[in-house]
Amino acid sequence: MQEQQAVPPSGIKRIAVVGTGVIGASWVAYFLARGLDVSATDPMPDAERKLREAVARHWPSLETLGLAPGASLERLRFFDKLEDALEGADFVQENGPEREDLKIDLFRRMDAALPAHVILASSSSGLLMSKVQAACRHPGRVVLGHPFNPPHLIPLVEVIGGQASSEAAVQSALDFYAAVGKKPIHVRKEVKGHIANRLQAALWREAFHLVEQGVASTEDIDTAIAYGPGLRWALMGPYLNLHLAGGEGGARHALDHLGPPIESWWADLGSPAITESLKETITAGVEEQMEGKTLGGLAAERDQLLVQLLVAKGKAKVIP
C-alpha cells in the first residue's frame, strides 16, 4: 500500500456529506481515505446501513491507491437530522436529488445552520448555483463541486460559482479539492451540464445517431471508443492528443491538415431524438452485450482497472 501525502488545508478537518446515495457514499469513502472526519446524513430509510456497506466496498480500492495519515472507517458518524450532521462542519458536500425546489430548500436550511465562512458545495450535475443560492443569507459561499462517478476513484471535480458566489469561495473550493488529491477545474461560466457532461453528451448524440441510422450496433460503438480513442483519452485530453497527431508541427499542423475534413464531419453529424423506438433499439443492444455478465461484475472489474490506471498515471513524468 502506498501512502498518499495529499492533506486538507489547515482548518478543514470535518466534512458534512448531505445525501448518501451512490455519489454521496462514494464521497464519504474518499474523504475518510484522506484522513478527514465525516458527518453524514440522508433521510432515506436504512440509509446508514447502506452507506456503511458502500464505504466498505470502496475501501479496498482506496487502500490500493494509498490512504492518507489518520484515514479510518471509524471517523464516520451518521445523523438522522440534517442540522446535527452540520454541527462543527468545516466544508459541506451536498448530494441531494436533482430537483431545483428541493435543492433550494436544502441550501436554505444549511445556510441557516452554519457560520458564514463554511463552503457549501453541491455535487449537482445540471442545476445552476445562481438559482440554488438565491434563498441563502450568505450566497457568496455557495459553489458547485461536481464530481465524476465514481468520486472515490475519478479525480475530476468541476468547480463553478453562481452569480453571487465570491471569488474567495471558488478559490477555497479549488484549493480544498486539490489538497485532498482531486483534479479540480474552474468552470468560468454557468452552462447546463458544465464541461465534462457536455462533452460526454456530444459523444452520446452521435452514438445514438449512428445506431438510429443503422450504421453501427451498440456493441460496435462501444468497441470503437473503448479500443480506439478512449484509450488515448484515458491518458491525455483531446487537445494534447491533437498536438501529438500533428507530429513535429504540433496542433497547428494538425488543424491545417485535418481542419477541412473535421468541419465536413461536423456538418454531417446527426441530431437524434430519443424516441421510444430508439430507446428500445439501444436497450436491446445493451442487453445483448450484457449476456453472461452482471452489473456488479462489470462495475467491480471497471473499478479494478481504474485503480490500476490511476496508479500508472500517478507515476507518469510528462503526461499531466
* Distance in angstroms between the alpha carbons of the first and the last residue of the chain: 23
Q: Average pLDDT, stretch 12-37?
A: 97
Fold of the CATH domain 14-186: Rossmann fold (3.40.50)
Grid coordinates representing 1 are: 500500500
Q: Average pLDDT, stretch 183-207?
A: 95
pLDDT tens track for 203-241: 999 999 999 999 999 999 999 999 999 999 999 999 999
Q: Average pLDDT, stretch 24-43?
A: 98
φ/ψ of residue 314, rounded to 5: -65, -20
Classify 271 in phi/psi space as left (phi over 0), alpha (psi -120 to 50) or beta.
Answer: beta
Residues 6+ apart with CB under 8 A from 320: 236, 240
pLDDT band at 9 (very low <50, low <70, confident <90, very high): low
User: For residues 269 and 10, which has the higher predicted lDDT (pLDDT)?
Assistant: 269
**What amino acid occupies position 210?**
L
Q: Average pLDDT, stretch 185-214?
A: 96
Does position 4 have pLDDT exceeding 50, yes or no? Answer: no
Domain ranges of the chain: 14-186, 196-289
Does position 10 have pLDDT exceeding 90, yes or no? Answer: no
What is the rounded CA–CA span in Å between residue 5 and residue 161?
28
Q: Check: CATH 3.40.50.720 for 196-289?
A: no
Q: Are 144 and 160 in contact (CB under 8 A)?
A: yes
Closest by alpha carbon to 13, among 161, 179, 158, 159? 179
Grid coordinates representing 234 are: 484515458
Share of the chain above pLDDT 90, in %: 94
Helix (H) or strand (E) holding 245: helix 238-245
Rg of the chain over CA atoms, in angstroms? 21
Q: Average pLDDT, stretch 148-156?
A: 96
User: Looking at residue 320, what is its pLDDT?
Assistant: 87
User: Looking at residue 126, what is its pLDDT?
Assistant: 83
What is the rounded CA–CA span in Å between residue 243 and residue 256?
12
Label residues 246-276 b or e (16+ Cβ within 10 Å = b): beeeeeeebeeeeeeeeeeeeeeeeebeeee
